Structure 1
Amino acid sequence: MTYLDATAKFYTEVAETPQIGLCCVQSSPLQLPGLKIPTQMQEMNYGCGTTVHPTELANDPTVLYVGVGGGLEALQFAYFSRRQGSVIAIDPVTAMRDAAMRNLELAAQENVWFDRSFVEIRAGDAFALPVPDASVDVVAQNCLFNIFKPADLQLALREAWRVLKPNGRLLMSDPIATRPIPAHLQSDERLRAMCLSGAMLYEQYIEHLVAAGFGQVEIRARRPYRMLNRQNYGLETHLLLESLDSVAFKTPIPEDGACIFTGKTAIYTGMESYFDDRAGHILQQGVPAAVCDKTAANLANLHPAEIFVTDSTWHYNGGGCC
């Protein structure tokens, strides 16, 4: 049995018998006016963060949700795109698709605005998405891609890139590791299916996104997720996993490399009213401007006496001059 077979078996089990708190982080679920989430759907919230960012969901986007889970985020996406077939949710596990369908029927009873036709559930997996090229505005996945081994992860990311329209967005939430996860944990197929042993380092995660063709990545949130303690997991010291929410844009990669936004700002401290680096970045005196990590490094290296660069906040919602 491969690790993907083990994953399918595990999620069949948790679809049939929900495991409350399997993946969830200790934070309040997204609250939206007029949205009621059925109890069973909430109990099947098998995610490590959120992919539902209202600022990314203007103009009734068509959303492809990979790994339907209990249907919670599919319902939340439908809240923003209230039309037939606006959300396509796929999952290779029959029991999970069936559970999501039941939960969405309950949601239709509890939410007067929600029509069951808003969400279409299809059989399929991340490696062969059942939609045409450049056909959706948003692809989203929550706590799924971390399960994949590197070659499969790259295939899944390239599939997401294929089906997105130009300037489309990949919304992701996954665990990352603060140091490499030992081989004996990576090879444990059940721990991998539980989103505990497949996490890679932040730098590796971003490298995979860029390698798949995404020219801009924005970090929405980074927070503690789980602690693997040394006693239970055979480690020399405890190993912290973090949850990373990100948005990757299907835009061309600039010649000098992709733009990665982690919440850094650049502040001009000189005597003039503004600073122009002649590369598209104009900084007002004393006013923090959000910049990508690449630009932050360039400004700090080339103009250390005049430019102050703040640390990453790991929370970025647009703006700035990049």
Structure 2
Amino acid sequence: MSYLDITHELYKEVALTPQPGLCCITSPEKSLPGLTVPDVMREMNYGCGATVHFGDLNSKETVLYVGVGGGLEALQFAYFTRQPQSVIAVDRVPEMLIKAQANFKLAADLNKWFNPDFIKLVQGDALNLPVESESVDVAAQNCLFNIFKENDLTKALTEMHRALKPGGRLYIADSITTQQIPERLRQDERLRAMCLSGALTYQQYVDKIIGAGFGTIEIRSRRPFRILDKRRYQLPENILLESLELVAYKNPVPNDGACVFAGETVIYFGSEDFYDDGKGHTIQRDIPLPVCQKTAQNLRALNHEDLVITEPTFHYAGGGCC
């Protein structure tokens, strides 16, 4: 049985019998006016973060959500779109689709504004998405891609890129590792299906997204998620897994590399009103300016006494330049 078949069987099990402890959201569920979430959706929210970034969304967009789970995030996306079939929710596991459909009927009973027709449920595979090229504005996945082995991860990211319109956005919440996971654990297909052994490091993960053709990446959040316990897994030391939330934009990768915003900021405090680095960046005196990682690196190399460039916070809230 392949690792994808084992994953399929695991999520068939948790569709039929919800397991709230399978994954855990590491940030509190955000409330929205007029949205009541059925309890079963919370129990089946098998993610490691959040992909619904409320300040980014509007009613004119079509959303592709891959790996529907209990339907909580698909419901949250539908809160913003509120148009027939404006959220396309894809899942490989028929039992999960059936459960999500039942959950959306419960949500309709609790929310007068919601119609289950807002969400189109489709059986399909992340490696061969059942949508046309350049047909969606937003694509999202929560704690799914870390399950894939390297070649399949490349394929899944390429499929998301294909489905997005130019300028479209890929929302990801996924687990990453702070150190390499031993190969014997990576080969444990059950652990991989449980999002515990397939994780890449931060840089490996970001490089994969850039390799799929995304030219701008914003790191929205990076925080602790789980521990691979040295006693339970016979390791020399504990391995920390982290939850990474990011947004990747379908725009061309610049010749000098992708723009990755990870919370670095430059502050100029010299005698002039502004500082011009000669490469298109004008920095107003005393006004913090978020910058991408390659710009931060270039500015550090100047060793300018009137510039301070902060270290990455891995939390980017916008307003920067590259």
- Work out whether the TM-score is over 0.5: yes
CA contact 2:26–2:49 (8 Å) conserved in 1: no
Code of the aligned partner of 1:185: L
2:5 is equivalent to residue 2 of structure 1: no
| 1:258-269 → structure 2 map (5 Å cutoff) | 258-269=258-269
Q: Show the counterpart of 1:270.
A: 270
Residue 138 of structure 2: SS of its match in structure 1? strand
**1:235 maps to 2:235:** yes
Q: C-alpha deviations, 1:180-209, integer Å up to 9, x for none?
A: 011111011111000000000000000000
Aligned to 1:247: 247
1:105-124 pair list within 5 angstroms: 105-124=105-124
Q: CA deviation at 1:269?
A: 2.5
2:114 equivalent to 1:128: no
Offset at 1:59? 4.5
- The 3-state SS of whatever aligns with 1:103 is helix
List per-residue Cα deviations over 1:267-311 (Å, max 9, x = no partner). Answer: 113211101112221111122100001100001102432321011
Q: Are the aligned partners of 2:26 and 2:48 in contact in 1 as well (CA < 8 Å)?
A: no
| Matches for 1:280-295 after TM superposition, within 5 Å | 280-295=280-295
TM-score, length-scaled by structure 1: 0.98
SS in 2 for 1:226: strand
Structure 2 runs not aligned, ≥5 long: none
Further displaced range: 10-19 or 275-284: 275-284
Give the 3-state SS of the residue equivalent to 1:221 in structure 2: strand
Q: How many residues align?
A: 322
Structure 1: unaligned runs, 5 residues or longer: none
CA distance 1:59–1:105, shift in 2 (3 Å): closer
Matched, 1:37 2:45: no
| Secondary structure at the counterpart of residue 270 of structure 2 | coil
TM-score where L is the length of structure 2: 0.98
Partner of 2:46: 46
Q: Distance in 1 between matches of 2:66 and 2:185?
A: 25
Structure 2 partner of 1:184: 184
Counterpart residue number, 2:206: 206
Distance in 2 (CA, whole Å) between partners of 1:55 and 1:281 is: 26
What SS does structure 2 have at the residue aligned with 1:184?
A: helix
Q: Any idea what SS the aligned residue of 1:231 has?
A: coil
Question: Aligned ranges for residues 206-225 of structure 1 at < 5 Å?
Answer: 206-225=206-225
CA RMSD of aligned residues (A): 0.9
For the residues of structure 1 that align with 2:117 and 2:40, how far apart are their CA atoms? Answer: 20
Contact 1:222 1:243 in 2 (8 A): yes
- Looking at structure 2, the residues matched to 255 and 27 of structure 1 have their Cα atoms a distance apart, in angstroms, of 36
